[in-house]
Amino acid sequence: MKKITSILLVVLSLVLLGSALTIGVSASSAYQTYTYSINGTPLYSPDAYAAVKTVDYIAMGLTKDFKNPQDLITDSAGNVYIADTDNSRVVCLDRYYNATMEISEFINDQGNTDALLKPQGVFVTENDIWVCDTDNSRLVRFEKATGNFVQIVGAPESQLFGDSSVYKPVAMAIDQYGRIYVVSSTTYQGIIVLDPTGEFVGFIGAQAVSISAWDILWRRFQTEEQKRQTAAFLPTEFNNICLSSDGFIYVTISSIEASDVEAAINSKAKDGKSMPVKLLNPAGDEIMRRNGFWPPAGEVDFKNLDNEKKSGASTVTDVAQGPEKTWTIIDSKRNKLYTYDFNGNLLFAFGDEGDMLGSIRNIEAVTYQGDTMLVLDRGAGNNGVCVVVYERTEYGNLLLQAIAAENSLDYAYAIECWEAVLQRNSNFDAAYVGIGNALSRSGRYEESMEYYETAYDTENWSESYQQVRKEWMADWFILILAVIIAVIVAVLKFLGWAARVNKRVSTDGKARKAYWQELVYAFYVMFHPFDGFYDLKHERRGSVRAALTILGFTVVAFFYQSIGQGYVLNPTGAVSTLWAQAISVLIPLFLFVLGNWCLTTLFEGEGSFKDIFVAASYALTPMPLLIIPATLCSNWVTTTEASLITMVTTIGMIWMLLLLFCSTMVTHDYSLGKNFVTVIGTVVAMAFIVFIVLLFSMLLTKLVSLVTNIVIEIQFRIA
- Cβ-Cβ contacts under 8 Å for 641 (sequence gap 6 or more): none
**Quick one: what percent of the chain has pLDDT higher than 90?**
54
Confidence band for 511, pLDDT divided at 50, 70 and 90:
low
User: Does residue 433 register a pLDDT over 70?
Assistant: yes
Confidence band for 401, pLDDT divided at 50, 70 and 90:
very high
**Quick one: what percent of the chain has pLDDT higher than 70?**
89
Domain contains 286: yes
Confidence band for 21, pLDDT divided at 50, 70 and 90:
very low
**Number of Cβ within a 10 Å radius of residue 681:** 17
Domain contains 34: no
List, in sequence order, every residue forming a beta bridge with 93; answer none if it has no partner. 80, 99
- What pLDDT was estimated at residue 219? 55
Give the residue-averaged pLDDT of 625-637: 93
Domain contains 697: no
Give the residue-averaged pLDDT of 113-119: 94
Is the same domain home to 266 and 374?
Answer: yes
**The domain boundary residue, chosen from 374, 392, 410:** 392
Q: Count structural domains, the chain.
A: 3
Is the same domain home to 564 and 419?
Answer: no
User: Does residue 215 register a pLDDT over 80?
Assistant: no
**The domain boundary residue, chosen from 431, 466, 497:** 497
Is the same domain home to 643 and 539?
Answer: yes
CATH classification at residue 247: 2.120.10.30
Confidence band for 467, pLDDT divided at 50, 70 and 90:
very high
- What pLDDT was estimated at residue 243? 92
User: Does residue 7 register a pLDDT over 50?
Assistant: no
Question: 3-12, 264-273, 291-300, 653-662: lowest mean pLDDT where?
Answer: 3-12
Write out pLDDT tens, residues 683-695.
999 999 999 989 9
Confidence band for 559, pLDDT divided at 50, 70 and 90:
very high
Is the same domain home to 196 and 277?
Answer: yes
User: Does residue 704 register a pLDDT over 70?
Assistant: yes
- What pLDDT was estimated at residue 28? 36
- What pLDDT was estimated at residue 259? 85
> Taking Cα atoms as reference points, which of 95, 184, 94 lies closest to residue 134?
184
- What pLDDT was estimated at residue 164? 66
Domain contains 18: no
Is the same domain home to 545 and 565?
Answer: yes
Write out pLDDT tens, residues 127-137.
999 999 999 99
Write out pLDDT tens, residues 482-493.
999 999 999 999
User: Does residue 512 register a pLDDT over 90?
Assistant: no
- 586-606 burial, b for 16+ CB within 10 Å, e for fewer? eeebebbbbbbbbbbeeeebe
Give the residue-averaged pLDDT of 182-201: 89
Is the same domain home to 325 and 450?
Answer: no
Is the same domain home to 534 and 463?
Answer: no
- For the stretch 690-693, contacts whose Cβ atoms lie closer than 8 Å and that sit 24 or more positions apart, written own/partner, are 690/591
Domain contains 11: no
- What pLDDT was estimated at residue 30? 42
Which whole-number Å values give the CA distances from 209 to 165, 170, 204, 316, 556, in the listed order? Answer: 19, 22, 15, 19, 47
Question: 170-179, 211-220, 357-366, 625-634: lowest mean pLDDT where?
Answer: 211-220
Domain contains 38: no
> Taking Cα atoms as reference points, which of 630, 663, 676, 677 lies closest to residue 649?
630
Confidence band for 390, pLDDT divided at 50, 70 and 90:
very high
Domain contains 637: yes
User: Does residue 156 register a pLDDT over 80?
Assistant: yes
Is the same domain home to 162 and 267?
Answer: yes
Burial of 664 (0-12, 13-18, 19+ CB in 10 A): buried
- What pLDDT was estimated at residue 233? 45
| Domain hosting residue 91, numbered range | 43-392
Is the same domain home to 122 and 222?
Answer: yes
Confidence band for 547, pLDDT divided at 50, 70 and 90:
very high
- CA 309, CA 291: separation in Å to the nearest integer? 30
CATH classification at residue 452: 1.25.40.10
Rg (CA), the chain: 35
- What pLDDT was estimated at residue 222? 60
- What pLDDT was estimated at residue 382? 56
Domain contains 101: yes
